[in-house]
């Protein structure tokens, strides 16, 4: 796969790109998210690792991505698969070593790929040295790194706070006779971000990784950093709240979503701003509305560079809600801010190929074309580029189960399918850490040899973005279009139309189809009416604007 070259760029587009790069490599760029345990196993223990990723960088270069986001790589007892960190300045032994990491960063840079590193500031593992010390005595020097409360009357919980997994946000520590707070599992004690020492520790941690030349960091669960100092009870959920909060029965108002969190994000921003070239700060802003999400951009240049658009990810895959969400996101973003779009996740919502598309190939192609043509940075979740769906795994096996949604996260974390062979090219072990999906249905080897595959659709869309600046950075303007369809301009001459309805639709435009989800229509000329069949989508170089 190394033989393929990147798309050719003109001098003009190189200049535009150079100026975009000064404003951040992610503007106009594309991020690929690989779940490291599941992507490529180099030593046959059934667990993906850093050497496995290094071995497969040629694939990512061939695909044409700009950034590679890896879920947490640090030592962890893996109660929440790496999101319970026991040492912030080291690499999980199953993943490799710091040397491997440095080599990954260097090898990726050679291919113009930046590594985006997942950092978990809201909580540590209960095995982290700070927490072990903190719980050893009330006078521990680390006691105030965490959030402790005396029991209420007759040993009751300190207040009514519930965590994101739908359980009480407090666990009792027998040794010191107090409760500690956790916004996620009891193995993830909440760090006390009101404590200046905690903030300073994280400055050092952030520097430690940014200095290694990575392209940026993804910051986990930032809405959960701060809590109400008066420990007031959360109010009951109302119809205006997210479905999660309604199911839990309360609005997570006082154990999370504190407005002062923005001061912390600004602090990180000024820290990252000292690096050249600019490092990406991608915030996991797990908030129920776009209005709340856009606040994490601050004034557009002083908080996160990109935020996690949960509302988009959770939208039904239908033209009307998508249209509203796209329109609202772009309208509410502060000037100068840049959107991020993801359709799939390693968390409860899982893969769009299943949730949005029900595994139907034509719909999967529409989803990929839509994701890669909106204005903002697309985040491709590993395996989506080959249309990998979630296998039925029967009962929950490994993943932390979200008690609240009752859904296991395993389905979207199964190993990458490289070829139709035992171990799917992911591992030589007969026991991958999670079961494999059916690699004979979707795998890289077969699809890379087939120009009509979804993999080639994705690759061609990425290549087109590199040569067609309107598509990479152009303004987005939605246009009205028939029921069931979505259509928008990008810049002067890109026009995108997607038909998610059940019947053929005609959309007024003229120009040439550059890429259609049905590849036999590539290069077709459109004089006045574009006919789009159900579950068909196109990028047109238009002459009608
Ligand atoms: C984020 C992660 C999720 C994790 C949680 C707690 O939402 O994406 O996997 O369980 O934070 O760290
Ligand atoms: Ca391994």
- Boundaries of every domain in the chain: 11-124+196-469, 129-181, 475-542
Give the number of other CB atoms < 10 A from CB of residue 472.
Answer: 24
Can you read off the two tokens belonging to residue 115? 């590594």
| Span 91-115, average pLDDT | 98
User: What is the reported pLDDT for 9?
Assistant: 46
Give the pLDDT band (50/70/90) at residue 73: very high
| Cα 167 to Cα 186: distance, rounded to the nearest angstrom | 10
Q: Give the helix/strand (H/E) hosting 171.
A: strand 170-173
Q: What is the mean predicted confidence (pLDDT) over 485-501?
A: 98
Q: How confident is the model at residue 398 (pLDDT cuts 50, 70, 90)?
A: low
Output the pLDDT for position 23: 77
Ligand 1 center to 181 CA (angstroms): 16
Distance 186 CA to ligand 1 centre (A): 14
pLDDT at 510: 97
Catalytic residue among 84, 126, 220, 385: 220
Assign 392 a pLDDT band (cuts: 50, 70, 90).
confident
The answer for residues whose C-beta is within 8 angstroms of residue 331's C-beta and 6 or more apart is none
Q: How much is the pLDDT for 400?
A: 55
Backbone angles phi, psi at 245, to 5 degrees: -65, -35
Q: Which residues on neighbouring strands pair with residue 118, listed in sequence order? A: 218
CA of residue 117 to ligand 2 center, whole Å: 19
220 carries an active-site annotation: yes
CA atoms within a 13 Å half-sphere pointing along the CA-CB vector of 201: 20
Helix, strand or coil, per DSSP, at residue 536? strand
* Residue 3 clears pLDDT 50, i.e. is over it: no
**Res 459: pLDDT:** 98
In ligand 1, the atom with minimum distance to the C-alpha of 400 is 10
Taking CA atoms only, the protein residue closest to ligand 1 atom 3 is 347
Provide DSSP, 434-491: S----TTTS-HHHHHT-TTSHHHHHHHHHHHHHH-HHHHH--EEEE---TTEEEEEET
Ligand nearest to the CA of 427: 2
Query: How many whole angstroms separate alpha carbon 386 and alpha carbon 389?
Result: 9
| Residue 360: other Cβ atoms inside 10 A | 15
Q: In this model, does residue 357 exceed pLDDT 80?
A: yes
* Pocket flag, ligand 1, residue 221 (CB < 6 Å): yes
Q: Is the CB of 120 under 6 A from ligand 1?
A: yes
Of 36, 80, 116, 223, best ligand 1 pocket probe by most atoms within 8 Å of the beta carbon? 80
Burial 443-453 (b: 16+ CB within 10 A, else e): bbbbbbeeeeb
The CATH fold of domain 475-542: Immunoglobulin-like (2.60.40)
Provide the 8-state DSSP code for 255: S
Ligand closest to 123 (CA) is 1
Strand-strand pairing, 306-307 and 170-173 = unpaired
Nearest 5°: the CA angle 9, 105, 340 is: 60
Q: Is 500 in the pocket of ligand 1 (CB under 6 A)?
A: no
CA-wise closest residue to 524 among 536, 535, 537, 515: 515
**What was the pLDDT predicted at 21?**
47
Q: Is the CB of 286 under 6 A from ligand 1?
A: yes
Residue 177, Ramachandran bin (φ over 0: left; ψ between -120 and 50: alpha; else beta): left
Range of lowest pLDDT (141-145, 195-199, 376-380, 393-397): 393-397
For residues 375-403, average pLDDT: 81
* Residue from 117, 32, 60 nearest 343 by CA: 32
Which ligand is located closest to the Cα atom of residue 44?
A: 2
Quick one: average pLDDT of 211-216? 97
State residue 102's pLDDT score: 98
Look at residue 394 in the predicted model and tell me its pLDDT. Answer: 61
Question: Ligand 1, atom 8: nearest CA belongs to which residue?
Answer: 347
- The confidence score (pLDDT) of residue 408 equals 81
Find out whether 115 and 215 touch, Cβ atoms under 8 Å.
yes
Ligand 1 geometric centre to CA of 377 (Å): 21
Q: How many CA atoms lie within 13 A of 282 on its CB side?
A: 31
The answer to whether 413 and 37 are in contact (CB under 8 A) is yes
Expressed in angstroms, the distance from the first to the final Cα of the chain is: 39
Please indicate whether residue 284, judged by its CB atom, sits closer than 6 Å to ligand 1.
yes
Closest CA to 367 of 350, 349, 384: 384
Which of 67-71, 142-146, 243-247, 468-472 has the lowest average pLDDT?
A: 243-247
* Per-state percent for the chain, helix, strand, coil, to nearest 5: 30, 15, 50
- The number of the ligand 1 atom at minimal distance from the alpha carbon of 184 is 6
Return the bridge partners of 70, or none.
Answer: 34, 117
Contact 194, 263 (CB under 8 A): no
Q: Is the CB of 290 under 6 A from ligand 1?
A: no
**CB-ligand 1 contact for 85 (6 Å cutoff):** no
CATH class of 11-124+196-469: alpha beta
Q: Which of 70, 184, 283, 345 to mutate for ligand 1's pocket (most ligand atoms within 8 Å of CB)?
A: 184
Q: Is the pLDDT of residue 247 over 70?
A: yes
Q: What atom of ligand 1 comes closest to residue 286's alpha carbon?
A: 7
Cβ–ligand 1 contact at 287 (below 6 Å) = no
Ligand 1 pocket member 495 (CB < 6 A): no
Nearest to 225 by CA among 187, 199, 248, 203: 199
Start-end of H helices in 64-124: 98-110
Verify whether ligand 1 is closer than 6 Å to residue 80 (CB atom).
yes
């209005």: which residue's tokens?
Answer: 291
CATH number of 129-181: 3.90.400.10
Q: What is the mean pLDDT of residues 368-397?
A: 90
pLDDT digits (tens, 9 = 90+) for 438-450: 999 999 999 999 9
Using pLDDT thresholds of 50, 70 and 90, give the confidence band for residue 12: low
**Quick one: average pLDDT of 423-450?**
97
- Residue 432 alpha carbon to ligand 2 centre in Å: 9
Give long-range contacts, CB 8 A cutoff, 24+ apart: 461-464: 461/368, 461/369, 461/372, 461/373, 461/515, 461/539, 462/30, 462/63, 462/64, 462/65, 462/372, 463/6, 463/7, 463/64, 464/7, 464/514, 464/515, 464/539
Which of 220, 313, 348 should be mutated for ligand 1, with most atoms under 8 A from CB?
220
Residue 415 · residue 38 · CB < 8 Å: yes
pLDDT attached to residue 231: 98
**pLDDT (0 to 100) of residue 1:** 39
Alpha carbon of residue 3 to chain centroid: 30
Pick the catalytic residue from 80, 241, 245, 284.
284
Region 158-187: mean pLDDT is 97
Q: What is the structure's pLDDT at 244?
A: 87
Q: What is the mean pLDDT of residues 259-265?
A: 98
Query: Average pLDDT of 498-526?
Result: 98
User: Which listed ligand is nearest to 400 at the C-alpha?
Assistant: 1
**pLDDT of 57 higher than 70:** yes
310 lines ligand 1 (CB under 6 A): no
Q: Which residue(s) pair with 345 in the sheet? A: none
Confidence at residue 545, expressed as pLDDT on a 0 to 100 scale: 74
| Average per-residue pLDDT for the chain | 94
């Amino acid at each position: 796969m190394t033989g393929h070259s990147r798309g050719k760029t003109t001098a003009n587009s190189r200049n535009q790109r150079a100026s975009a790069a000064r404003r951040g490599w992610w503007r106009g760029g594309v991020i690929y998210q690989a779940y490291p345990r599941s992507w490529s196993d180099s030593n046959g223990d059934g667990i993906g690792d850093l050497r496995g990723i290094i071995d497969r960088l040629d694939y990512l270069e061939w695909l044409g991505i700009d950034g590679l986001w890896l879920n947490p790589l640090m030592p962890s007892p893996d109660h929440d698969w790496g999101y319970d960190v026991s040492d912030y300045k080291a690499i999980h032994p199953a993943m490799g070593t710091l040397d491997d990491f440095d080599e990954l960063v260097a090898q990726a840079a050679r291919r113009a790929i930046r590594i985006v590193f997942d950092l978990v500031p809201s909580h540590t593992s209960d095995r982290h040295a700070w927490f072990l010390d903190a719980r050893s005595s009330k006078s521990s020097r680390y006691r105030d790194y965490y959030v402790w409360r005396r029991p209420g009357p007759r040993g009751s919980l300190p207040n009514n706070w519930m965590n994101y997994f739908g359980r009480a946000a407090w666990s009792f520590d027998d040794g010191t006779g107090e409760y500690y707070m956790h916004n996620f599992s009891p193995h993830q004690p909440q760090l006390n971000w009101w404590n200046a020492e905690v903030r300073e520790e994280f400055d050092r941690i952030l520097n430690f990784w940014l200095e290694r030349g990575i392209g940026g960091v993804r910051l986990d669960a930032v809405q959960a950093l701060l809590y109400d100092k008066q420990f007031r009870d959360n109010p009951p959920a109302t119809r205006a709240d997210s479905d999660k909060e309604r199911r839990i029965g309360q609005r997570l108002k006082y154990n999370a979503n504190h407005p002062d969190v923005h001061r912390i994000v600004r602090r990180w921003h000024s820290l990252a701003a000292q690096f050249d070239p600019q490092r990406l700060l991608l915030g996991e802003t797990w908030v129920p509305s776009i209005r709340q999400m856009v606040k994490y951009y601050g004034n557009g240049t002083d908080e996160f560079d990109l935020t996690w658009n949960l509302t988009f990810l959770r939208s039904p895959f239908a033209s009307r809600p998508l249209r509203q969400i796209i329109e609202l996101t772009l309208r509410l973003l502060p000037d100068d801010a840049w959107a991020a779009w993801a359709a799939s996740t390693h968390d409860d919502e899982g893969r769009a190929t299943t949730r949005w598309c029900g595994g139907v190939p034509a719909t999967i192609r529409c989803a990929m074309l839509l994701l890669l043509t909106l204005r903002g940075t697309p985040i491709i979740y590993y395996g989506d580029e080959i249309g990998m769906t979630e296998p039925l795994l029967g009962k929950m096996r490994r993943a932390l189960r979200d008690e609240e949604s009752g859904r296991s996260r395993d389905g979207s974390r199964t190993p990458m399918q490289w070829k139709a062979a035992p171990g799917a090219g992911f591992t030589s072990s007969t026991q991958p850490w999670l079961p494999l999906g059916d690699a004979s249905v979707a795998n890289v080897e077969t699809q890379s040899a087939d120009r009509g595959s979804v993999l080639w659709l994705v690759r061609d869309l990425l290549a087109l973005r590199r040569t067609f600046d309107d598509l990479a950075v152009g303004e987005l303007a939605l246009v009205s279009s028939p029921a069931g369809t979505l259509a928008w301009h990008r810049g002067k001459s890109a026009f995108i139309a997607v038909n998610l309805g059940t019947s053929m639709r005609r959309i007024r435009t003229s120009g040439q189809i550059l890429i259609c989800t049905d590849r036999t229509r590539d290069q077709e000329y459109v004089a006045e009416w574009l006919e789009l069949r159900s579950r068909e989508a196109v990028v047109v170089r238009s002459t009608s604007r």
